[in-house]
Structure 1
């Protein structure tokens, strides 16, 4: 069996007004881990959520993201930005070279609060669930100017995404 080399800019791309995802290594390549390059636009907030059947790894390649991966003292439904862990941790501003590992069941979130796009390498195990999820999510994003929150929720229900706070795509406020 041979390995796989994916050059910069290569891979299957899915581009919408909201999201740009490049599938780098997937289950179709025989990998147990799905690897994507994701451009996170200014103002995009994935919302806090958990997965009962998958683990994730995020590595910031360019730009900055606010991230968290912990169970808060109190979960709030509107936003995760002020959450605090029992030992005092809060969200972290993650720049290029920062990474975040998320075990199964751990609440996690990221947002791009800056005026510039951020780029991250995202890995999910096992494949291919997040591959199908990203394909369908990008279809929802491409369907109009406003993201339909009910369509996103139905999708997340099918793909083991327990949403705690809502997904948002709004320009950052200063």
Structure 2
């Protein structure tokens, strides 16, 4: 069973990653507890993302538009498009993410978990971590 990476109401489990797919893809599930999500809108310069709903509903903000992804629904997020997600419901929600090509791997999420769970996740540290792994944070405005 894949190792769980947990932080801020999220649990990720990698099923495939760049290391075992010759950088072809990353595949992982995310379970988001009520109120959890990606609080920093961002985009990727080096990969596309496809999200498929497995249980519950998450709301994805993609290019300033909200899209609900429930069971059996999917959304494609091309590289360069600003996005984020939140679980705005009272129930946990799980989705599958497929990143192509697979250049992110679990390292970004493990480093995020280490930072957040240590209590030192200030905005500057999070921004530096994101940029180091190819995620470009976008401030509101």
Mark yes or no: TM-score above 0.5: yes
Change (3 A) 1:165 1:18: farther
Find out whether 1:11 has 2:29 as its counterpart.
no
Q: Find the residue that maps to 1:43 and give its secondary structure.
A: coil
Residue in structure 2 matching 1:113, options 68, 81, 88: 88
Find out whether 1:24 has 2:20 as its counterpart.
no
> Where does structure 2 lack aligned partners over 5 or more consecutive residues?
none
TM-score, structure 1 as length reference: 0.70
Mapped contact 2:37–2:85 kept (Cα < 8 A) = yes
Residue in structure 1 matching 2:123, options 131, 141, 149: 149
Aligned to 1:33: 25
CA distance in 2, matches of 1:30, 1:65: 28
Aligned to 1:122: 97
CA distance in 1, matches of 2:114, 2:100: 22
> Where does structure 1 lack aligned partners over 5 or more consecutive residues?
1-9, 71-82, 84-89, 167-174
CA distance in 2, matches of 1:151, 1:21: 21
Structure 1 residues 19-71: Cα deviation after superposition (integer angstroms, max 9, x where no partner): 2111111122225100111111221231321111111111111111111333x
Residue in structure 2 matching 1:133, options 108, 111, 126: 108
CA distance in 1, matches of 2:11, 2:128: 21
Aligned residue pairs total 138
Mapped contact 1:18–1:141 kept (Cα < 8 A) = no
Mapped contact 1:15–1:21 kept (Cα < 8 A) = yes
RMSD: 2.0
TM-score, structure 2 as length reference: 0.85
Please report how far the alpha carbon of residue 93 of structure 1 lies from its aligned counterpart in structure 2 after TM superposition: 2.1
CA distance in 2, matches of 1:52, 1:28: 20
